[in-house]
């Protein structure tokens, strides 16, 4: 992504997460007894007493860094120019399932700051107070994945335009020879 588009992308991703959380809250409030996100938690990310199973700050931080790194590493590999076209959704989807199976009991799974910001704004209080972790940890995980990917990725074989044109000429000559043999 061009750097000039990155800020807008981040802003609109956060706006989208807030709108999506608002829609989900409207649906949840349709329960016969209603729904209070501050009481129910609204799947906001948390640690300590706000973790679904009581995991500590350190455990929450580590799981968010590692799971985000797995996700970003998978996305980078699956969308690389050398990866088969049209199949990126399969490994990314499978990794997302794994991440959620592991992460939901620990923190309700963030791996994306926008995903954390949306619900936290509606829950307020403790969710806003713990939000910093679910912004910082995924950013660290993403940077870690990018560094690892750059270390393990095979560099592209870059050729000049002239080399590409010569390769094209030789390929055309080879095809012409094959056609001559068939005729």
Report yes or no: 121 and 42 within 8 Å, Cβ to Cβ.
Answer: no
pLDDT at site 2: 85
Task: State the greatest distance between any 2 C-alpha atoms of the chain, in Å, as a whole number.
Answer: 81
Query: Helix (H, G, I), strand (E, B), or coil: what is residue 36?
Result: coil
CA–CA separation, 128 vs 93, rounded Å? 29
pLDDT at site 62: 98
Question: Dihedral, CA atoms, 15, 120, 100, 95, nearest 10 degrees?
Answer: 30
Domain regions of the chain by residue span: 3-158
Helix or strand holding residue 178 (H, E): helix 161-182
pLDDT at site 82: 83
Q: State pTM to two decimals.
A: 0.80
- Tell me what the pLDDT averaged over the chain comes to: 91
In the block, tokens 């990310």 appear at 45
Q: What is the mean pLDDT of residues 7-20?
A: 96
Token pair for 142 = 């993403």
* pLDDT, tens only, 59-111: 999 999 999 999 999 999 999 988 888 899 999 999 999 999 999 999 999 99
pLDDT at site 178: 75
Q: For the domain with range 3-158, which CATH number is right: 3.50.50.60, 3.40.50.300, 1.20.1080.10, 3.40.630.30? A: 1.20.1080.10
Please report which confidence band the pLDDT of residue 157 belongs to, taking 50, 70 and 90 as the band edges.
low
Q: How many residues does the chain have?
A: 183
């Amino acid at each position: 992504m061009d750097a000039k588009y990155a800020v807008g992308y981040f802003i609109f991703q956060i706006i989208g997460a807030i709108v999506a959380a608002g829609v989900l809250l409207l649906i949840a409030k349709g329960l016969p007894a209603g729904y209070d996100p501050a009481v129910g938690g609204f799947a906001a990310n948390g640690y300590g007493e706000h973790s679904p199973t009581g995991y500590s700050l350190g455990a929450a931080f580590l799981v968010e860094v590692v799971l985000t790194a797995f996700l970003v590493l998978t996305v980078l590999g699956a969308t690389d120019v050398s990866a088969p076209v049209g199949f990126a959704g399969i490994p990314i989807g499978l990794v997302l399932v794994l991440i959620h199976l592991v992460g939901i009991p620990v923190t309700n799974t963030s791996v994306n700051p926008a995903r954390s910001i949306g619900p936290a704004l509606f829950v307020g209080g403790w969710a806003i107070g713990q939000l910093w972790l679910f912004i910082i940890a995924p950013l660290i995980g993403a940077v870690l994945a990018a560094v690892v990917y750059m270390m393990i990725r095979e560099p592209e074989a870059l050729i000049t335009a002239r080399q590409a044109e010569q390769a094209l000429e030789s390929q055309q000559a080879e095809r012409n020879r094959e056609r001559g043999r068939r005729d």
